[in-house]
Amino acid sequence: MKKLNFADLYLEKIILAVALLLALAGIYLLVFSSPNRVEINNREMNPGDVPELLTAKADDLRIAINSPQQLPPISLPEHAVILASRDAARPAARASLEPIGSIGSIEGGQLQNLDPYDLPMPPLARDAVARQGTAVLELTGDDTVDQPLLRLLNVENEPFDFRYVTVGATFDLADWRNRLESGDPQVRPAWWKEVLEDVTGVYLERQELLDPAKDEWSEPVRLDPIRPLDALPPDLDVSANDDLEVQAALQAIRIEQDFYRQAPFVRVAQPYLLKDPFTELRSDDEERDLEDLFSDLDFIDKQLERIDQQIERMQGRIPPGLVDRENKHLDDRIETMDKINELIGESLLDPTLMAMPDRSAEIAAYERGQQDRRASRPQQRRDAGVSEQMMMERMMMEEQMMMAEEMAMRGGGGDRAGMMASRGSRSQFNTRSRVQPRAQPQPRRVDPRRFMSEPDEIELEPEENPDEVRVWAHDVTVEPGKTYRYRVVVTVRNPLFRQTSVPPEQKAENYDRLTLGPSEEDLHATADASSELGATVWSNPVTIQPELYYFLVGSQAKIAIVEVWRVYDGRWREAEFRVSPGDPIGGTAEIEIDEEKVALAMKADDIAVDVVSPQPGAVGGGVSELIVVSGTTGDLDARRTNAGKDVIDRIKLLNENRVNEMIEEVQDPSQFAVRGAR
């Protein structure tokens, strides 16, 4: 019998074992594991793991898109000059720069089959208001900046006085939103909602009055901004700029909305002289009330100054009656200043901060002296001098006489005008505020409730409407004596800028079109300012103040006393001249400014023809009349004391100077500067 080896002996069992192992491997692969593994990023994965990976990648992409983009340093020749000239950083309107436009996707078919979006144009700004003023240019020391401004302002010699008009208006975001929402088909909200509030510039359109009798105006002229890129023009094409320049422009628009909405002014020497266009002008009646308040303030200050002199003569012994009178005048001064602040819309002096010196020691000394005299010499009169009682009576008589004189001056217009003219520089209006504080001051006994409204009288400030964006721009090319009106054009971000999911023809028109402006239809429809629609966008006419004002303030026989005013170093300066028939009005006056004498030319074109003085004994003092002839037109005119328009013009000039003097008395006049003054 043949001997079998191990393989022959167990072959059948080996085959069965191998088959069993293969069967188990197949069962594992088919049942317990996935047969379709893929490799992603050098990593093998099961199909079931792929959705989780895609979700994670999508989250990472979303985070990256929404994160602020860090731009590399770039060189922007034009933008850099403008951005570098802004001397104060502004808070960012938005925290980050968002992408230029959508990535672009094909939805609903091929691009060539898309309908063009109905792209509206933004509305014109409405409710325009114009305010004029004077200012003095402050040079920067950089000729590349200063020389263009000097040419624009048409000034040559220091101080660089110039006239300007600031025009404010309201841009209606709700109207702009409604136009976008009413499109058919509508521009995608995801596109326009992100740029709805992006104002890119404010322009002024100006008309000049040509013929007042016919109400004839010139054609509208669009004014350039003071500096290049202060405002981006409508339909700005940036196809010639690279992507980094475009990104920088978009970033500037986003983070400096205050710059584009309210264009900065030129740098001036006295920013507080600038006018806020949204401040309501005082009426003629309010100007007269303000002048009366200033007159009252002068009177009160004179009384307080006289009391100061009386107190010095009392040598440390002050009767209670004198202190009561001082209290009364200080109370009157507080009330007067409170009314002035209300009329001018500023808080130039906080009435509640006024202090009354402690007079208790002086009053006690006076009363002790009275008691000692009564005890030692009850019936004896002093041999020399005047008794204190008589001194007090004399002081009261002096004050009553002064009050009577003041009331008499207030009673007649001509006398009152003479009183106002005699004030000179009028810098003494706030004498009390400049007196050195006495020892041991204590708070005045002022009832604080007097400066608080009752609960039912408190008027809360209305909340600002976020859909009403206040915009403004400046015109520094106005000419004295001319009359202008203005329309405000606002440019905005184009919602189709750099959008790709638009028809080819619309992409060609808007892909590089960064800004939009009002449509020609809106401009044409509002061209007539007398129409109902035009009245909503044009400002009221503003007549630029002349180079010179002059007023007849009195006369003596055939000699007229004329007061001439002109602007110098940002302020109106006045001087008196004596004019006879045949003489020109005005001349050269020596004005004291900052303790220096300045020879100032104050000569008008008009020539005196005749002077008519009132007859002696005329009722009310009579009215003087000056007949003049214009040196340019040959027209005759008459100037009278107490003659309406001239008087109110003079009152306005007086009030303006007084308000400016009060501002200069404040420790930091810059707090009254209009924002945007550079």
pLDDT digits (tens, 9 = 90+) for 128-163: 999 999 999 999 999 999 999 999 999 999 999 999
**Of the ranges 17-31, 137-151, 310-324, the best mean pLDDT one:** 137-151
549, 586 in Cβ contact below 8 A?
Answer: no
Mean pLDDT of the 411-439 span:
37
CB atoms within 10 A of CB 359: 20
Amino acid letter at 160? Answer: F
Range with lowest mean pLDDT among 27-31, 460-464, 564-568: 460-464
* Contacts for 62-66: CB closer than 8 Å, 24+ residues apart: 65/99
Where residue 443 falls among pLDDT bands split at 50, 70, 90?
very low
| Band of pLDDT at residue 433, cut at 50, 70 and 90 | very low
Read off the pLDDT band of 616 (50, 70, 90).
Answer: low
Q: Please, is 621 exposed, middle or buried when counting C-beta atoms within 10 Å of its C-beta (0-12, 13-18, 19+)? A: middle
Most confident residue range from 376-385, 447-456, 669-678: 669-678
For residue 370, the model assigns a pLDDT of 80
| Pair type for strands 548-556 and 542-543 | unpaired
Are the C-beta atoms of 534 and 527 separated by less than 8 Å? Answer: yes
Across the chain, what does the average pLDDT equal? 79
If one compares 290 and 418, the residue with the highest pLDDT of the two is: 290
Instruction: Name beta bridge partners: 584.
Output: 607
Q: Supply the pLDDT for residue 176.
A: 97
Window from 173-182, 326-335, 431-440, 669-678 with minimum mean pLDDT = 431-440
Cα 77 to Cα 245: distance, rounded to the nearest angstrom = 10
- According to DSSP, residue 457 is labeled G
Place of tokens 């409170």: 338
Mean pLDDT of 175-203: 95
Q: What global pTM score does this model have? A: 0.72
Q: Is the pLDDT of residue 606 over 80?
A: yes
Give residue 465's pLDDT band: very low, low, confident or very high (50, 70, 90): confident
CB 496 within 8 A of CB 506: yes
> What pLDDT is attached to residue 540?
94
Residue that wins the pLDDT comparison between 439 and 20: 20
Single out the residue of 95, 28, 108, 104 nearest to residue 67, CA to CA. 95
When pLDDT is averaged across residues 97-125 and rounded to a whole number, the result is 63
Q: How far is CA 96 from CA 59, 68, 82, 83, 181, in A?
A: 19, 5, 21, 18, 26
Res 612 pLDDT > 50: yes
Pairing of β 161-172 and β 199-211: unpaired
Predicted confidence band of residue 510 (pLDDT cuts 50, 70, 90)? very high
C-beta separation of 233 from 516 below 8 A: no
Between helix 645-665 and helix 284-313 the angle, nearest 10°, is: 50
Is 423 a residue whose pLDDT tops 80? no
**Mean pLDDT of the region 424-435:** 35
- For residues 208-216, give the mean pLDDT: 96
Q: How far is 577 from 587, CA to CA, in rounded Å?
A: 8
Give which of 201, 156, 131, 140 is closest to 475, Cα–Cα.
131
The β-bridge partners of 231 are: none
- Find all residues with CB under 8 Å of 259, minimum gap 6, and list them: 86, 90, 230
pLDDT at 265: 95
What does the alpha-carbon distance between residue 384 and residue 387 come to, in Å, rounded to a whole number? 9
Cα dihedral value 176, 177, 180, 182, nearest 10: -110
Q: What is the pLDDT of residue 387?
A: 55
| DSSP β-ladder status, 468-475 and 355-357 | unpaired
What would you report as the CA-atom Rg of the chain, rounded to the nearest whole angstrom?
Answer: 40
Residue 372: its pLDDT value, please?
Answer: 77
Q: Which of 81, 188, 181, 168 is nearest to 127 (CA)?
A: 168
pLDDT of 622 over the 80 cut: no
Q: Answer yes or no: are the C-beta atoms of 609 and 627 closer than 8 Å.
A: yes
Model confidence at 671: pLDDT above 80: no
Number of Cα atoms under 13 Å in the Cβ half of residue 436: 1
pLDDT at 492: 98
DSSP element (H, E) containing 245 = helix 243-255
Region 378-405 average pLDDT: 56
Which percentage of the chain shows pLDDT scores above 70?
70
| Angstrom distance (rounded) from CA 610 to CA 615 | 15
Do you know the residue count of the chain?
678
Residue 240, pLDDT score: 94
The H-or-E segment that residue 471 falls in is strand 468-475
